[in-house]
Copies of this chain bind each other. A is one copy, B any other.
Amino acid sequence: MAVGLDPPRNILPIAGVRLSVAEAGIRYVGRRDLTLIHLAEGSQVAAVFTRNRFCAAPVLVARHHLAEGPGVRALVINTGNANAGTGVAGLRAAEASCREVAEQLGCAPGAVLPFSTGVIGEPVALAEKIAAVLPACVAGLAEDQWEAAAAAIMTTDTVAKCCSRQIEMDGVTITVTGMAKGSGMIRPDMATMLAYIATDAPLHGAALQQCLREAMAQSFNRITVDGDTSTNDACVLMATGRAALPPVTKATDPRYGKLRDTITLVAQWLAQAVVRDGEGATKFIPIRISGGYDEAECLRVAYRMAHSPLIKTAFFASDPNWGRLLAAIGSAGVDDLDVAGVQVWLGDTRIVRDGARDPAYSEAAGQAVMVQEEIPVRVDLGRGAAEAQIWTCDLSYDYVRINADYRS
């Protein structure tokens, strides 16, 4: 079902990052539901997490370990259970999982970050199930296991999401590889469902943090499937520093921009892949708003459109129902919007000129864009120089089916 999204290929390993997957039987039997990532000594890690107040136990533990721990050496990720809404028992389970991993890998429990995704609010014997398969999982750690890991972290995803990019810098090849999962409850706020991006570049400290923040702002914080913000969202950026370059510790380093841009490209590809694989998605819809006073109002209009069930169902029906687009733009909270200055395009076809139907527009022209799998929407608010772009998908019968059936 995913829109224009192929399974991963040509994924490049990252020196210093080893991965392994296992069947822990957390919710289903015979399914790979456990992923372990081991980082070489000296690796630097930054992460952002959901802002949902009901954040999951592993989010609380991972935040704590990042802030107070001795430096991250391992990540343990399970699907099948989000360990959210599980109270004190959930916190203990997340901490116990870290201890099990630490024991197997010979590091401190605080050097392990736990991640969970799946159904919310179900109690589960997480640590016990993980412990049972950990020895085999550790034995399988290898640098070429990204595809397997990308598949093992999936829940309602239909396609594994993983990609790589390389650049040359001072004669040295730098590699970035990332993977992500998520297709529902997607409207990340400073983070996504689960995403892991690694590089062998020597990004350190403040530069690493800023790089993650900037990459997020142009990727996972610019997508929405259903406007729902998960309890478990997390995005991790790992830099092993194995590439033979002196460390990049500050954003003012002349090499910073190129590294950030490459990491942003990977993050953007993954974020778009999450939308392309949005629950029930049949259309991929980039929405670009220009001519706003500031980026905030451009985003407000963009998300208003992306969250409108009427617009999403019209896209599903390939119906160029531009009245619904106008209604969403007009109710996005831009109180002094002069509608006479608004232009709207579907692809290259202008449908609204100066706030009303473009006299040159024909339903046939709109229809020709709407039948495509990818439908770029562009709105010019005609009141400033700011712009912003987000990505979303349509709302189909299958969205309802998937979410009406998910727990039963």
Contacts and interface: CB of A to CB of B under 8 A. Distances in A.
Contacts of A119: 323
Interface stretch (A23-31, A41-49, A262-270, A328-336): A328-336
Contacts of A406: 319, 321
Contacts of A170: none
Contacts of A335: 53
B82 A185 contact: no
Contacts of A87: 355-357
A364 to B, nearest CB: 14
A231 B332 CA distance: 12
Given A54-B330, A309-B227, A355-B54, A85 B403 contact: no
B327 A231 contact: yes
A327 B54 contact: yes
Contact of A54 (B85, B310, B339, B400): B339
A294 B400 CA distance: 34
A228 B308 contact: yes
Given A53-B334, A189-B331, A120 B324 contact: yes
B326 A54 contact: yes
Interface in A295-315: 307-310, 313-314
A84 interface: yes
Contact of A403 (B55, B228, B307, B313): B313
Task: Name which of A314, A323, A328 has the most chain B CB atoms within 10 A of its CB.
Answer: A323
A175 to B, nearest CB: 35
Interface stretch (A132-140, A214-222, A391-399): A391-399
A330 B119 CA distance: 16
Task: Name which of A85, A339, A357, A401 has the most chain B CB atoms within 10 A of its CB.
Answer: A85
A96 interface: no
Interface string A341-383: 0000000000010011100000000000000000000000000
Contacts of A293: none
Interface string A205-243: 000000000000000000000111111000000000000
A67 interface: no
A7 interface: no
A327 B404 contact: no
B53 A85 contact: no
Given A54-B329, A322-B85, A314 B403 contact: yes
A50 to B, nearest CB: 8
Contacts of A82: 323
A287 to B, nearest CB: 16
Contacts of A114: none
A156 to B, nearest CB: 11
A52 interface: yes
A250 interface: no
A110 interface: no
A326 B85 contact: yes
Nearest to A226: B309
A386 interface: no
Contacts of A400: 313, 316, 395-397, 399-400
A168 interface: no
27 contacts: A53-B331, A53-B334, A55-B330, A85-B322, A85-B326, A87-B355, A121-B357, A123-B357, A189-B331, A226-B308, A227-B307, A227-B308, A227-B309, A228-B309, A228-B324, A229-B330, A231-B323, A231-B330, A309-B403, A313-B400, A313-B404, A314-B403, A316-B404, A317-B408, A319-B407, A321-B406, A397-B401
Closest 4 CB pairs of A and B: A120-B323, A54-B330, A87-B356, A317-B404
